[in-house]
Each structure stands twice: as structure tokens, then as C-alpha cells.
Amino acid sequence: MSAKCTLGIDLGGTNFRIGIVSADGTILRVEKTPVGQKRTAADIVKLMSGGVKKMRSECQDVTSIGIGIPGIVDSDEGVVFKSPHFPDWSDVKFGPMISQETGMSVVIDNDANMVAVGEAWLGAGSGLENFVMVTLGTGIGGGIICNGHIWRGDHGFAGEVGHTLINFDGPACNCGSRGCFEMYASATGLKHLVEDSSDPSKPKFMKIFHNEIERVTPKAIYDLAREGDIFASAIWKKFGVYLGAGLAGIVNTLGITNIVIGGGVSAAWDFFIKETQKELSRRTYKKTASLVRLHKAKLGDEAGILGSARTASS
Amino acid sequence: MSAKCTLGIDLGGTNFRIGIVSADGTILRVEKTPVGQKRTAADIVKLMSGGVKKMRSECQDVTSIGIGIPGIVDSDEGVVFKSPHFPDWSDVKFGPMISQETGMSVVIDNDANMVAVGEAWLGAGSGLENFVMVTLGTGIGGGIICNGHIWRGDHGFAGEVGHTLINFDGPACNCGSRGCFEMYASATGLKHLVEDSSDPSKPKFMKIFHNEIERVTPKAIYDLAREGDIFASAIWKKFGVYLGAGLAGIVNTLGITNIVIGGGVSAAWDFFIKETQKELSRRTYKKTASLVRLHKAKLGDEAGILGSARTASS
């Protein structure tokens, strides 16, 4: 492996993945490590630094690391204020800690921001001056690309679009608010939509899952919709409507008309996107609606690693 | 009057005001003209150009005009796509039309953007790199200052924060959506809050207005709250809660922690701001909430004229 590589790391709640990325955006190698039960910041720093050292031994010319972290991150200071997957973390100087352990230059940022940078570099956002990246996973992540750069706001917290409002008195969200966007248009939202439905076709659908809501994953609802299940299809349509409603608020606020939609749940694209477009049009001015373009993310799981590497190398 | 003056114009639904503004931001003279019944774009262009010519005769060195216009404006092209006060207007080349009539250089923009520029120049936003201007009037206007400049988005439509969502199935809004922010935290919102209330103190309150909801203006509710009316005070508190909920979504999206609040309805500041702060804290992460600052706008009615002049001169 040649010079001028960068390490891109994507930290999730279950695993982290370290990728060696070349200057042209080729992922030369990826290693996945389970996070395990020990989840303090010190534990994760130790585990991740070990992984970095191992990867670096395979490519001596790597000098910088980019890390995407779920949560509220101050990229300038390298601090994680809060992470939904690591509830013990509070004002953790994660960037400096990894840097000290590895002797390498480290940039950290919110994971959705890293995905946005990845898609801007080599994916669906390539060539777009401005776009909003929305990742549909357990929750909803967001990254805003403004004039070709990630917009972090005053303290690094921009793009928390999952916590914009859909329903004033809606279900309680982890963030402390109620009725957040991510309580409707994410994996968590899908569960709520199933639970709250009183559609007559629901009992037949639930029977497939032995009436256990825990088993009702986005993948399972997707598979059933593909098999023609009426209830599953209706759930995706409702999901699409809420997605459109939330995106409309983002478009009205930012005036950015290109939206890139990624994350695991976006795999069901064909089952929800028409409703999303319709609702978005209903909730924006006609002129605005005519200019909005919804793009399917192109890089899948690799976006975070690529964006992290890109951020570290720039 | 000396050289280097600029005309700042603030167009409203009832009047427009033309101000002669010096380079240091002194308003040397203001003239107010009723818009009247003839409201096509050609009518308003004629009326406004007449006013401009008259003002210019008093200060020969004025060569540029800035105009703040309520509605969806493409500032680059000088086009008004839609204006709530002038329903006949559609894709009107207002800037070029005024320029042709007056022979002067013309810049137009959304009125709340002009207010934001005014407050950034000489008001509550002075010295702030980033802030969001929110104007509470009949509806809610917004202007976003990013790195010291107005952020217009891809086509000039950024800052339409009045049309972010509060309640998915809320009351129908002029924009075509339902449950928009401005259906709760504006003059229009106040009327809805009064109408929807079933508080036992409401009948006594409504009796003062002969039970006619049209008479229930923000000013009247403000005056009654000052006199200690329980119902009026409760309405302002509810208003404050909804204002906080809407602002939380803006803060979560943009990551901008300074909010400047202006517009006529903001005069009741003391009666709603505590609830606004509380609700904003409830609907943002603790760290974010600790950094948010709400500022009362300083320039009142003059902000639009000053911002329009500033935009034209820069």
C-alpha cells in the first residue's frame, strides 16, 4: 500500500470500522471490531487505538485519522458532549485521547456529518454546492453541506434535524423533547407507526412476528412489502408522508433544495419516496417544491469511512 | 444632505416606507405611502418609483435602492415569486422594473432578511458572526446570518421558518401546509390560541371584545396582560411555549445559538420569554440549551429600512 493514505473510522453502537483510504477514495482495507460490554470512553479509546496501531503497521505513511461519532460533537475541540450509544460519556475529549494514544493527528465529527462529506466527495452529493444529508437509521442524522463545506454551526451541533418537531404532543424522544422527526421517520418511528396503527390488516401482519413488536424490524417490513403485504406497504407510505413533512421544514428553513437520503432504512426507497415527494410539495411553496430534488445516497456503509478519511486529509 | 446616501424601502401590506439612509446608518428622512386598492405589480412599481423620484430630488447623490418585500424572493434575479400581501403577483421582476422606472441600481430581498441585515449592522445582532432573526408579526419571518452574511440558500428562499412544523394535523396555513410555526407563535397564532382555549376565565376576557375575535389584537391582549388579566397572561405563556418549540427546531437544524426576536408581537416580550426559554431547553440537548441566547431586536420599525439600505450599499 502506497503513501498518502488516511484512516477513516466509523463508530457505531455495536461495532467500529477502521478503513485505510487512499487519496483518490479507494478503501484499501476495512477492519470491523465489536465494541463489547466495556463502553467507557477510556475503554473505547484503548480498543480503537489498538486497532489503529494494527492498521498503521500495514501502511506506514498514514499520519491522520478521521472518526465519525454518533452524538453531539464539537469538532474544533475534539470533544464528544453526548452520545446516544454511550450514555456514560459526558464532555469526553475523544479526539485528543486517540491522538495521544496513537501519536497521530485526529479529527472527530458527528457521524452524519462524516457521511455527508463522503457523499459530497464521491457519492450522491458530488458536484452539489449545497445539500442536506439525512440518514435514516435507529434515529435520524443530518449533515449540512454549505458552499461545499460541512456547516457545523456555532459549536458543532448543526444538523440535528432528527430533533425538529413533527407533533407538539407526540411520543417522548430520548433527547428530552416530544414528537421529534425521528419518532416518525426512522427505525424507531416505524415501530411507533406499527404500534399506533388500528388498520384491520394489522393482526395478520403482527401474527407473522408472533405479535412481538421487537421483531418488527425495518428489514422485515421491507421484505413483507416486497411480498405484497398490504399492511407493510401502508406503513411505508405513512413513513414516507412523515419523512416528507420533516424534510419540508428543513427545506423551508435552509432554502437548500437538494436532499440526499441514506442510512439503512432508506433501502425501502421505492416503497416510501412517492409519498415523501407528495407531502414535501404539500408543505412547501409551489416554487420551492418545484425545485426540490431527493437523491438516494450512493455509498451505503462506506460513506462514513470515506467522509472521515476525507475530513482528516483536508 | 450629503453624498453617499442610500434609499431603504420597506414594503408592507398596507404601506411602504422609503428612508434616506446615510453611510453610518442614520435615517435622514422617512416617507410613508399607503399602498391603496390598486395592487398589481405595475401599480406598486409606479407608486414606489414616484416616491423614489421625489426622495431623490432631495438628495442627488443617492444611486442605489434596497427593497424588503414580504414573500418568496430571488434576490439574485430581483424576482418576487409569491407575496402573501399581493396575491396577484407571480414571478414578478420587481427589481428590474423599479430599476427601469428610476434609473437606479436596485436590490430586493425578503423583508425578514432585510431586518436581519439591519439588526446585524446596528442592532441586537451587531458583532454576532451567526444568528437567526425571527420576526413575529401577522406571520413569522426569518433571516439567517451566517459568517456575517445573509444566507439565502439555493434560490433565495432560506429562512422561511414560519412554515416549519409544530403540529402535523394543526390548523391549515396560507402556505398550503398545516400546523406551521406561524399558526401558533404570531398574531395569527394568538387568535388561534384564544379561539381554541376552553379556560374558565375566557368568557370574561372575550366579553371585553364583545365576543368578537377580530377585535382580539396582540396589542389588546398585551394591554390586558399588563392590567393583570389572568386569561391574557395565560395566552402569552402558551404563545411563549410554542415559540420555544419552534425555535428549538431551528436551533437543532442550524446549530446557531443566537436568536434575535423582533416584529410587532415581540413587544409583549416580558409576558412570554420565560416560557420560550423553558420550552427551548426542554426541546434541545442540555449542552445546546446552555449555549442558546435569545435577544430582543433593537431597531423596531427601522430595521427593515436600515437593512435594505445596507444591502443596497454593500
Question: Nearest to residue A198, comparing CAs of A235, A170, A164?
Answer: A235
The per-residue pLDDT for range B175-206, each reduced to its tens digit, is: 889 999 999 999 999 999 999 999 999 999 99
Average pLDDT, integer, range A128-140: 97
**pLDDT tens string B114-141:** 999 999 999 999 999 999 999 999 999 9
Considering only CB atoms, B177 lies closest to which of A158, A164, A283, namely: A283
Q: Which three cell numbers stand for residue A54?
A: 494494527
| pLDDT exceeds 90 at position A268 | yes
Average pLDDT over residues A238-266: 98
Query: The pTM is what?
Result: 0.95
pLDDT (tens digit per residue) in B23-72: 999 999 999 999 988 899 999 999 999 999 999 887 778 889 999 999 99
Q: Does A112 touch chain B (CB under 8 A)?
A: no
Determine what percent of chain A is predicted with pLDDT higher than 90.
Answer: 92
Q: In what order do the strands lie in the sheet with B27-34?
A: B27-34, B15-21, B6-11, B64-69, B105-110
pLDDT at B59: 76
Q: What is the DSSP string of A280-295?
A: HHHTS-HHHHHH-EEE
State the nearest Cα–Cα gap between B171 and chain A, in angstroms: 13
Q: Sorting pLDDT into bands at 50, 70 and 90, what band is B1?
A: very low
Q: C-alpha distances in angstroms, A126 versus A19, A120, A121, B263? A: 21, 5, 6, 40
Cα separation, B312 vs B310, in Å, equals 5
Return the pLDDT at A56: 86
Q: Is the pLDDT of residue B3 over 70?
A: no
CB distance from B160 to chain A under 8 Å?
A: yes
Q: What is the mean pLDDT of chain B?
A: 95
Q: What is the pLDDT of residues A61-95, one digit of tens each?
A: 888 999 999 999 999 999 999 998 898 999 999 99
CB contact under 8 A, B167 and A167: yes
A290 vs B contacts (CB less than 8 Å): none
3-state SS assignment for residue A125: coil
Given a cut of 50, whether residue A2 has pLDDT beyond it is no
Using a CB–CB cutoff of 8 Å, tell me whether A286 touches chain B.
yes
Whole-number pLDDT of residue B4: 82
What confidence score (pLDDT) does residue B61 get?
82
B158 part of contact set with chain A, CB < 8 Å = yes
CA atoms of B31 and B52, how far apart (whole Å): 10
In terms of residues, how long is chain A? 314
Tell if the CB–CB gap between A288 and B72 is shorter than 8 Å. Answer: yes
Angle at the Cα of B87 from the Cα atoms of B83 and A277, rounded to 5 degrees: 70
C-alpha–C-alpha distance, residues B270 and A156, integer Å = 31
Residues of A within 8 A of B154 (CB-CB) are 129-130, 255-258, 291
* pLDDT(B298) > 90: yes
Average pLDDT, chain A: 95
The pLDDT value given to residue A63: 84
B284 touches chain A (CB under 8 A): yes
Rounded mean pLDDT, B80-92: 92
Find residue A56's DSSP bridge partners: none
pLDDT at A174: 85
Residue type, B164: T
Distance, CA of B245 to CA of B284 (rounded, Å): 9
Distance from CA of B302 to the nearest CA of A (A): 25
At residue A1, does pLDDT exceed 90? no
pLDDT at B2 over 70: no
